[in-house]
Amino acid sequence: MLILKLQAFFCFFPARSLDKLYNFADCSGLHLIFALNALRRNPNNSWNSSSALSLLKYSASKKYNISWELGNEPNNYRTMHGRAVNGSQLGKDYIQLKSLLQPIRIYSRASLYGPNIGRPRKNVIALLDGFMKVAGSTVDAVTWQHCYIDGRVVKVMDFLKTRLLDTLSDQIRKIQKVVNTYTPGKKIWLEGVVTTSAGGTNNLSDSYAAGFLWLNTLGMLANQGIDVVIRHSFFDHGYNHLVDQNFNPLPDYWLSLLYKRLIGPKVLAVHVAGLQRKPRPGRVIRDKLRIYAHCTNHHNHNYVRGSITLFIINLHRSRKKIKLAGTLRDKLVHQYLLQPYGQEGLKSKSVQLNGQPLVMVDDGTLPELKPRPLRAGRTLVIPPVTMGFYVVKNVNALACRYR
């Protein structure tokens, strides 16, 4: 499912704007999640839902298929708006929203997501704990946001730091611990991920270098059972874009497109001889060569069921060689190697696929994403500071033959 999320920070959202937004989402094959304004408060600090109810009734009259959320980063309300809301009160607000949705026929079973907290520091975890205790069963998925870097102080080499890439894994564990305490097995979504805060950093957040964080995020989330991630943002706001102001695709767009076309939802375990070192006391192993494996997307008719796709990130300043073993040893491989294009290097906003620049054919036509066939048994050579996808064809992997 492709998702478009809108956050409403104003008291009144014009019906005409909602019509345009919904029509855009509908024509694009997107599902709309509307985040209602949680900052309208009654004197007792409970949520004032009067304007939200008007919007719900209007969208129901138009039969708009929408999912709902309430607020955005509630942990920052005091700093940004001078009024704090604790976890238990936020939980009560969500229960109130659920009670508004249930009498409306079209929304009686509409999905509800939240609380969309920020980075899970101690105070944020306390907020999430209070929310889950009161309203954990009310939401269909628990949501939070992750930001990798302080956007005010960032250099291109920051995007290559393994310590930075690994911060996400620790945050996932913190969220999962709280959620599983109250609602074991509840879905968790990363509903906002940005490389840098404050809207990103010009000429960096939309460059090739930022793709290392993005691709590693996708692999790490899948490995830990999180199957939905929402990106900030598609265009216009800040610099964490997928397309530029002229709607030309930026590096993370091409990366996302290849991921969607080649990667299936089923995650496979990876063992790399010589890479999995035993940690020493007091030392954390942070690998600069990261390999993830999935069943190939069964919707991709270029590959039969049972094929496997690897995606590899090489943060080393030297090329790395990978020899496939076992049932993968003698199989034909299709390489999709993404490298920066142009003199800007890692700061480039253009990419090349297997040596060919990726550009739109025209305003509405994507180029053909041609793989480079590698002969069976050939060693995979990963150039320094690059990333790519490798489809191992016709493996007939049992885990990948069925949905």
Distance of alpha carbon 160 from alpha carbon 251, whole angstroms? 16
Select 68-265's CATH number: 3.50.50.60, 2.30.30.190, 1.10.540.10, 3.20.20.80: 3.20.20.80
Show the 3-state SS of 3-49. Answer: EEEEECCCCCCCHHHHHHHHHHHHHCCCEEEEEECCCCECCCCCECC
DSSP secondary structure letter of residue 198: T
Q: What is the pLDDT along the chain (403 residues), one digit of tens a residue?
A: 556 565 554 445 678 889 998 998 899 888 999 999 999 999 999 999 998 999 999 999 999 999 999 998 999 888 877 889 999 999 999 999 999 999 999 999 999 999 999 988 899 999 999 999 999 999 999 999 988 876 566 788 888 999 889 989 999 999 999 999 999 999 999 988 877 666 666 777 889 999 999 999 999 999 999 989 988 776 566 667 788 888 899 999 999 999 999 999 999 998 887 655 554 444 444 589 999 999 999 999 999 999 999 999 999 999 999 999 989 999 999 999 999 999 999 999 999 999 999 999 998 899 999 999 999 989 999 999 999 999 999 999 999 987 6
Q: Find the distance separating the first CA and the last CA of the chain, reported in whole Å.
A: 16
8 A C-beta contact, residue 215 and residue 314: no
Distance of alpha carbon 322 from alpha carbon 320, whole angstroms? 7
Q: What is the pLDDT of residue 283?
A: 42
Q: What is the pLDDT of residue 158?
A: 87
Distance of alpha carbon 175 from alpha carbon 168, whole angstroms? 11
8 A C-beta contact, residue 201 and residue 148: no
The Cα-based distances of 303 to 296, 300, 367, 368, 401 in angstroms read: 8, 6, 19, 16, 12
Task: List, in sequence order, every residue forming a beta bridge with 69; answer none if it has no partner.
Answer: 35, 113
Q: What CATH topology corresponds to 268-275+284-400?
A: Immunoglobulin-like (2.60.40)
Q: Hey, what amino acid is at 186?
A: K
| Phi-psi group of 199: left, alpha or beta (phi > 0 → left; psi -120 to 50 → alpha; rest → beta) | left
The Cα-based distances of 288 to 38, 163, 291, 292, 310 in angstroms read: 42, 10, 10, 13, 16
Q: What is the pLDDT of residue 281?
A: 45
- Indicate the domain borders of the chain: 68-265, 268-275+284-400
Q: What is the pLDDT of residue 3?
A: 61
- Per CATH, 68-265 and 268-275+284-400 having the same topology is answered no
365 alpha carbon, distance to own chain's centre: 25
Within 13 Å of residue 148, how many CA atoms lie on the same side as its CB?
29
Distance of alpha carbon 330 from alpha carbon 315, whole angstroms? 27
Tokens 């890479």 label which residue? Answer: 275
Q: Which residues contact 198 (CB under 8 A, 6 or more apart)?
A: 150, 151, 152, 238
